[in-house]
Amino acid sequence: MTEDRGQPEDFGDLSDEEIQTFSQEIVESIPEMMSEVLGKDLEADFDPEDQVVNEIEQIFMQFRDAAQAESEEERSEKMMHILDESAAQAFSQMDFIEGSEKEGLEALIEYHEESFEDRYDLIESWGYEEYLEKVDGLAVELIEDGKDQKVTALYEDEVDRNTGMMQRLIDPLFEEYLPLLEDSDIKDADEVRKYQDMYEETAELYAGLLPEFIAVLQIKKVGNHEYEELKNYSLNNLLQKLNSKKFPQYNIFAGCLNRKIRNAIAHRDSKINPTEESIEFYDRGDFVDELSYEEFGEESIELFSAFYALWCFNSRITYHKIKTLPEMLEDVG
């Protein structure tokens, strides 16, 4: 429906009644769309009024009038102006717009860029920016290949129900563990235990993101996915699948999580040796590995970097889509 009406030669022929119906449908879809863009659950607080429908209706009438312009250049210019003003009005009350010198789409793009750059700079300082670069490149490739809609559908159908929970966890998690993340120089047994807590919690959250990520890689490779099956896989099977020859570019996302160390920590089956500054890990009493304080600190930070990269993936698709809107409007014109 919206794709057909989005073409200027069709949109310019819409009647007032058709625009009114179309506007009502758009308003009803806003909560889900905005929740995805902003990473916040807005549906419970959304109570549309007639005024909202009327405002949307006025915007589409402006688009209709713009679509009736005689020249392609004039159509494109008018549509870009309407879109930018509409975005400025829609996002003017949002917290992330306050203090910005930009408006509309430029302000939204700036918000996404600055949020990503802050985290990128931090993870780059740890030496693990490759994980963020991988997911950012994946987002771009999916859009270029025309497969981003399938990924968006996957997140809408299966993953959005987890978004609110994850959003409530990620910021406190960052704040809690930031002192450890900024300095991986483990000094004593007490700090070892803090790192073990961070590793265990990060591993659990990371494991929860793997089914969606593997499903996205399947979409990229073959155009469809097996998410329903993947979400029932054990952690070991997920890591094996991610580490397969099918996804060589993304094998690092399997190698960053040591399942045996995770199990040892979860079962409280490790031994700290302060004199040697090392940690022995056991699985059901059997020795599996020994790491120095420094090695374990690095492995913990690498896992957190990979986790945060996967968490950022969906927002990177949103960002790259928003960034191409001006160019898309020019093509429409």
pLDDT value at position 152?
A: 82
pLDDT value at position 232?
A: 94
For the chain, the domains span 2-99, 129-323
pLDDT value at position 119?
A: 78
Among 263, 268, 256, smallest CA distance to 288 is for: 263
pLDDT value at position 117?
A: 83
* Amino acid letter, residue 64: R
Q: Identify the helix (H) or strand (E) that includes residue 282.
A: strand 278-283
pLDDT value at position 309?
A: 92
Supply the pTM of this predicted model: 0.70
Those residues of the chain that have pLDDT short of 50 are 1-9, 34-40, 42, 45-46, 90-97, 160-162, 332-333
pLDDT value at position 93?
A: 42
280's tokens:
């022995």
pLDDT value at position 220?
A: 95
pLDDT value at position 9?
A: 40
Phi then psi for residue 101, to 5 deg, are -85, -10
pLDDT value at position 265?
A: 96
